[in-house]
Chains A and B, each alone.
Chain A
């Protein structure tokens, strides 16, 4: 297990290094580098900028400088907000996004697992058919359309929830549902498949042959085995949640990194875009890593043999 973790950490570092390098390269390749916005900046700022990036120096030197800054947590300054450090913005807004993401994941995962279990137990029945249809619809509809629908009905028509904002529990409901419903549907679908598969396993018959009650068979034997692989989808799911939260934050005016990111795209605030990109990448990579390790911890087959989860 220890060797496996080390190997994974190695991969993590390589991947992240590639991302940061790519980010640097795309910054170099951007049509019109920071100077394109010279008209927005005062001459001093422009000079400051030039000096800051050392743009008069050859690219390899710039690259080293960039990496040096990066390692020291300096992601440059935002064009939009008078060169205020990007890191500061991210630090300030990240917790909000994190909270939104975690709330959505919890909402979606719990509901999804429940729906998946029920659907799997009643496979082939009407209830199952209804849930399968519902999950396809929820997986398919983009979160921003779903958010628009929720907003229109629950905030504009019957004013139960505020249209926008992020202050107090009521404001969390619609954004969390908008992101969480997709998570719920994907997990429900996956959980159902796993549940059906597990219920067809021989060891379920063994458990029944012991004379255990149906509920004991499902609780003690089926659900645990069906839930283990769920961990594997939670990783990729996080990516979907990040994508989702990007637009959802924008739609509900939530002060997280997502809305900041879109803002930066619209205003061509390149350092901010790069910083956010790197943050997203880091988040994603770390999540996948944690999920893999977690999988090893939960599944005794992997835990003991120390093998790679397949």
Chain B
């Protein structure tokens, strides 16, 4: 199957305070038409940088894509100029952001903010663009859109603003929608509404979604495939079921263990001890070695390669090497409290 987007060996470096921070270190990813891929990881794992790279929004300086390619419908976006990227952004690939409170221009009517992209990419007249903006507001479930189209962001609640942000992103029927922590800043009840909305919209429009999050609950809700990132690398990828029910990488185990569970026998939350590696001096071996309870001598100096576990699942861990001792995943990783 031809991929809608294929990222190969992407490397992103930030030159900050005389040091080079290797935020993304050689990741490979594919995205198929209409599917939802979740990129999961804690802050600083490189997931947001990856999404910004796809959008061509890495600020340069200090950021720089040092190597790799991002093929979108066969064309390499890394080689695109800013001008060429402007034609892609908002039209073929668009993005929704974490904090709806700050993602909208406070001094511009929301209608106008939706119309901008339509006028630029689809050449609509002001009048038609406004019609379409009202349609979009309706689509994302904003009541009374004819009136609200002329209001300013501060007149909307957080959840409503996130709906507006989604309307802006979907304005030109993009092929890919990147959602960077779309629900993190919202109340729990609103989170569910927004996730429902995104699922509905995906069914209607067939847009592929790249979901960036640290919240496995959101992942379970929306994603079909999952990539787990740690220390600028993808440590494990697989289908939703594979990652949740048959994870192979100790970091994935840690993530799953730290997820609060409804029916868990213990009310203790399990944390992964330690902090993520300093990416200005990235570790030579496995980035997770320093925090990994199963770390072996080999892990410290040698980066493990991927082990293909099924057609869809692979993980980078020395434990999967035949020479490694056999380790069973901890019992705490069970989803939904079956454990």
Contacts and interface: CB of A to CB of B under 8 A. Distances in A.
Whether A and B touch (Cβ < 8 Å) is answered with: yes
Interface of A: 124, 201-203, 205-214, 216, 220-221, 224-225, 228, 299-301, 304-305
A96 to B, nearest CB: 38
Interface string B79-106: 0001101111111001101010011111
Contacts of A201: 102
B205 interface: no
A205 B57 contact: yes
B210 interface: no
B165 interface: yes
Given A209-B57, A210-B117, A225 B106 contact: yes
B91 A206 contact: no
Q: What's the dominant secondary structure at chain A's contact region?
A: helix
Interface residues of B, number: 35
A210 B94 contact: yes
Contacts of B102: 201-203
A121 to B, nearest CB: 13
A152 to B, nearest CB: 43
Nearest to A202: B102
7 contacts: A203-B106, A210-B168, A211-B87, A212-B116, A225-B105, A300-B152, A301-B152
Given A209-B57, A211-B90, A211-B91, A202 B120 contact: no
A124 B61 CA distance: 10
Contact of A210 (B107, B116, B154): B116
Contacts of B155: 304
Nearest to A299: B107
Interface in B158-188: 165, 168-169, 171
Contact of B116 (A214, A220, A224, A300): A220
A210 B83 CA distance: 13
B104 A206 contact: yes
B105 A210 contact: no
Nearest to A198: B105
Contacts of A301: 106-107, 152, 154
Contacts of B107: 224-225, 228, 299-301
Given A206-B97, A206-B168, A211-B89, A304 B116 contact: no
A167 to B, nearest CB: 44
Interface string B292-311: 00000000000000000000
